[in-house]
Structure 1
């Protein structure tokens, strides 16, 4: 049943030779890799206003210069990540840049932060999209968590079907969102130009506001910079582009930066001019759309596409997380299972892990976006800062042609990103303090995994000094529970191995059973030695493992190997297994980790 369901949901397996067909052109790549950055237009301006409203609505005019500062940072990031794309064309982004230029620990901080950030990308995006839906339909507000989880499951299935298939579907909502916002901004600006919007809704730019401070402005700037999350995703996903991949990735990044700048500027200006006040129940974009169009088709079109882009922004995480995980796994910092491609040539283990983790976060935070955004933003600005700093070190060390200009761009980006990061810690410490715990924990886990892989490699590597000693003989132990065809089948197999000795082991719970069984055995298999062990506490495992240890110790002195042949019968129907005690599985599980003991299971299939 599971196999047909898997084929229905995911599709037929793809051949490895079809990998080239899974590469993205610029149009599709923009849709799935820019959706996170573009979607942040829906909540980035709102974050600025939430800070400014603590003074008064009169302070909203400061959102204009703050937005200009965010655009300067955006420009620095776009120019910087273009340089990263060409300097590191195989992907990896901030992780690779930081590791190569600042050291392994810096790389692990960047990589670990981004892994967590992509999990947060899914949780934040889906939660924000759900908020947009419940803004239009307040009756659904109490079902936020369940709606968000359903969307995560949908996106997971879509991404398991492959990169190109998910991109083909997701491109339409993304471009519809861009179209909707262009219409909203265009009509809004027209209404302003024609005097339809009353000028008294907002305070004039430059109006003195009591209580405003540089600290508050920096706090608002840091909050507004959350609109830049996702900018780095393209540099991580270069391998997903069609050739020439670096050029296509760089063009896509530039186009995304231009779109983000236009949409962000438009929404910030409209929210200022309309005098929109942030609300828990209704988003800023929803209020602008309602003021511009009223509650008609265009309003619901904008709300619908906004909800879609916010939800589908999670797809940036689905695209970038598995590729970043591959880079970390290749360096042996996370399990190698993340390097394995699934049936549809995507890194399905990374996709599934991402989905489970994000659902966990949605449940823990109850789908409340405002609690996730600060943690989400600081998680991406740490890698921003490290990658910019790493590129500064690279230019100073290598000094290629035109390196001074590149150095200035990266140094400016590094300074601004550092300021934003510090402001998040200073102003939102109660919401982002967990970063100070999970980053060291992740680094510790990374190093333990790395140490394990290195230890395994050292022990498995063949050298002149560690050749395996040839085994000169073999002792076979066969645990038996009775005189049956299953046991007979296992004994015949054991005899075929030409062992030096075969020992059948019977564990009894009653003394009378031992004598009766020994008599039956001697008549049935007189050539096979039988050892009976009495278990006072009715345990099979304890006496058997103790006996195996004794035999193994004596056998090692003669350079003999010890093999435990385990009889096991398999019912015809899978559900029938629960009707049996599965002693063979328990024995195998306990003996599997015994040193220098080989384990062989001899199955006997029942036919009815």
Structure 2
């Protein structure tokens, strides 16, 4: 039943040689890997206004020069990540760049930040999409968390079906969103140019505003820079592109940058001219669309596509998180299970873990996007800063042709990204302080995992481990609970290993049972030694393990190996297991941690 359900939900397994068919062309890659960056247009401009409104709506004209600053940073990041794509064509992005140019620990900081950031990508995107839905239908506000969790489950399931299948489904909503926003921006600008928008709705650019300071403007700039999250995803996911992967990734990155610049600047302009103020339960885009078209079909089309892109922006995390996890797992900093491909050739473990952690995050923050965005932005601008700094050192060290311009681009990106990080810590410390705790903890976890893998490799390596002790014979211990076909089956197997060194062990709880069983055994198997271990406290594990330890100590003196054979019957139906006490499982669980003791289970399958 579970097998058929899995096949229905995920699809048929794919062969390994079909991996090439799972690569993305530029159109699908733009939709999948740019959805996070493009969707941030829905909340990036709003973050600027949330800061400026603290000194009044008259300060809204500052959103224009702040947006110009964000576009300059966007250009620096796009050009820089284009260089990273060609310098590191196998992917890995900020983690690989930082590790190779700055060292192991800066690389781990970048990698750890991005892992957390992709979890936040899913949580923020789905939460923001849910907000867009509940803005249009206020009666659903109380179900925000439930709606968001359901969307995460659906996207997780879609990604488990494979990269190309998810791309084929998700490409349409992304391009519909782009179309919807271009319609909104085009009609809105037309209304402004033709004088249909009252000039009284906004203050003129350059109007003096009391209370404005450089610190406040930098704070608004850093908040608006949250619109640039997701820019790095393409450089992380180069292996997902069709050949030539670096060229296709570079063209996709440039296309994303152009679209993001146009949409972001258009929304900022409309918000300024319309005099839109951020509200708790109505998004900025919702207000702009309502003022432009009214609450008609076009308004709901814009709100619907906005909600879809915000939700589906989570797919950027699903595309980049597993690939980053693969790079970290190959370097032995996270469990190797992240390198395993699933039935549909995707890295299923990474996809499932990402979905589960995102749902937990949504539940903890109760789906409130404004509490997640600052943490989200810091998590991506730390890797931005490290990767730009790493590329600066790379150009200084290698000095290829034209390195001067490349160095200037990376320096600009590094400086601005660093300023954004500092401003977030200075202005929103209460929301981002947890970065200072979870990043060191993540680095410590990476270190401990790598230390474990190194220790295991050192112990297993033939050139360094202790030589194997020769075995001169085998002592078989056979725990028995009665005289049955299960015991008979196991006893026959034991005789094939060591016909003269078998010890059957019976643990009775009553003295009468002990005597009765010894008589039965003597009549049934007189040639096999039986040891009874009376247990007045009704424990099987304690007397049995104590006896096995004694046998093992004596056997080691003669270079004999102790093998414990555990009889176990297997019911025909799985649910029948709950009707039995599973003593064999408990015994095996305890004995597996005994040194120099081999544990073997001999199954006996029941027929009905």
Match of residue 203 from structure 1: 203
Match of residue 455 from structure 1: 455
Between the aligned partners of 1:559 and 1:281, the Cα distance in structure 2 is 76
Match of residue 34 from structure 1: 34
Kept after mapping to 2: 8 A contact 1:109/1:383 = yes
Between the aligned partners of 1:88 and 1:264, the Cα distance in structure 2 is 29
Kept after mapping to 2: 8 A contact 1:126/1:311 = yes
Match of residue 548 from structure 2: 548
Match of residue 92 from structure 1: 92
Query: Deviation of residue 499 (structure 1)?
Result: 4.9
Match of residue 509 from structure 1: 509
Mean CA deviation greater in 166-175 or 513-522: 513-522
Match of residue 67 from structure 1: 67
Kept after mapping to 2: 8 A contact 1:572/1:607 = yes
Between the aligned partners of 2:556 and 2:372, the Cα distance in structure 1 is 59
Q: Answer yes or no: is 1:388 the counterpart of 2:388.
A: yes
Between the aligned partners of 2:574 and 2:328, the Cα distance in structure 1 is 39
Q: Answer yes or no: is 1:287 the counterpart of 2:287.
A: yes
Kept after mapping to 1: 8 A contact 2:378/2:424 = yes
Between the aligned partners of 1:465 and 1:107, the Cα distance in structure 2 is 31
Match of residue 570 from structure 2: 570
**Per the alignment, do residues 500 and 524 of structure 1 end up closer, same or farther by CA in structure 2, a change over 3 Å counting?**
closer
Between the aligned partners of 1:247 and 1:14, the Cα distance in structure 2 is 27
Q: Deviations over 1:297-325 (max 9, x none)?
A: 11000000000000000000000000000
SS in 1 for 2:55: coil
Kept after mapping to 1: 8 A contact 2:458/2:464 = no
Q: Deviations over 1:547-585 (max 9, x none)?
A: 111111111111111100000011111111111000000
SS in 1 for 2:505: strand
Query: Deviation of residue 285 (structure 1)?
Result: 0.2
Q: Deviations over 1:249-271 (max 9, x none)?
A: 00000000000000000000000
Match of residue 276 from structure 2: 276
Match of residue 164 from structure 1: 164
Query: Deviation of residue 469 (structure 1)?
Result: 2.2
Q: Deviations over 1:64-121 (max 9, x none)?
A: 0000000000000000000000000000000000000000000000000000000000
Kept after mapping to 2: 8 A contact 1:473/1:499 = no
Q: Answer yes or no: is 1:349 the counterpart of 2:349.
A: yes
Q: Answer yes or no: is 1:363 the counterpart of 2:369.
A: no
Q: Answer yes or no: is 1:377 the counterpart of 2:394.
A: no
What does 1:120-519 align with in structure 2 at a 5 Å threshold? 120-463=120-463, 466-519=466-519
Match of residue 82 from structure 1: 82
Mean CA deviation greater in 465-474 or 537-546: 465-474
Query: Deviation of residue 464 (structure 1)?
Result: 7.2
Kept after mapping to 1: 8 A contact 2:561/2:597 = yes
Mean CA deviation greater in 289-298 or 500-509: 500-509
Query: Deviation of residue 500 (structure 1)?
Result: 4.8
Query: Deviation of residue 202 (structure 1)?
Result: 0.2
Instruction: Report how many residues are paired.
Output: 608
SS in 2 for 1:474: strand
Normalising by structure 2, what TM-score? 0.99
**Per the alignment, do residues 465 and 225 of structure 1 end up closer, same or farther by CA in structure 2, a change over 3 Å counting?**
closer
Kept after mapping to 2: 8 A contact 1:473/1:500 = no
Between the aligned partners of 2:485 and 2:2, the Cα distance in structure 1 is 33
Q: Answer yes or no: is 1:585 the counterpart of 2:585.
A: yes
Query: Deviation of residue 471 (structure 1)?
Result: 1.2
SS in 2 for 1:95: helix
SS in 2 for 1:530: strand
Mean CA deviation greater in 357-366 or 493-502: 493-502
Q: Deviations over 1:397-435 (max 9, x none)?
A: 111111111111001100000000000001000000000
**Per the alignment, do residues 499 and 221 of structure 1 end up closer, same or farther by CA in structure 2, a change over 3 Å counting?**
farther
Between the aligned partners of 1:463 and 1:499, the Cα distance in structure 2 is 36
Query: Would you identify which runs of 4 or more consecutive aligned residues in structure 1 move more than 2 Å?
Result: 464-467
Kept after mapping to 2: 8 A contact 1:321/1:350 = yes
Normalising by structure 1, what TM-score? 0.99
Query: Deviation of residue 498 (structure 1)?
Result: 2.9
Kept after mapping to 2: 8 A contact 1:474/1:499 = no
Kept after mapping to 1: 8 A contact 2:384/2:417 = yes
Between the aligned partners of 1:392 and 1:588, the Cα distance in structure 2 is 57
Query: Deviation of residue 511 (structure 1)?
Result: 1.4
Query: Aligned Cα RMSD in Å?
Result: 0.7
**Per the alignment, do residues 578 and 355 of structure 1 end up closer, same or farther by CA in structure 2, a change over 3 Å counting?**
same
Return 5+ residue gaps in structure 2 as ranges: none
Between the aligned partners of 1:15 and 1:152, the Cα distance in structure 2 is 27
Between the aligned partners of 1:444 and 1:528, the Cα distance in structure 2 is 54
Between the aligned partners of 2:249 and 2:465, the Cα distance in structure 1 is 49
Q: Deviations over 1:481-535 (max 9, x none)?
A: 0111111110011001135510000001111211111111111111100011011
Q: Deviations over 1:224-262 (max 9, x none)?
A: 000000000000000000000000000000000000000
Return 5+ residue gaps in structure 1 as ranges: none
Query: Deviation of residue 466 (structure 1)?
Result: 3.3
Kept after mapping to 2: 8 A contact 1:333/1:449 = yes
Between the aligned partners of 2:464 and 2:73, the Cα distance in structure 1 is 57
Mean CA deviation greater in 397-406 or 301-310: 397-406
**Per the alignment, do residues 205 and 358 of structure 1 end up closer, same or farther by CA in structure 2, a change over 3 Å counting?**
same
Kept after mapping to 1: 8 A contact 2:374/2:432 = yes
Between the aligned partners of 1:464 and 1:161, the Cα distance in structure 2 is 44
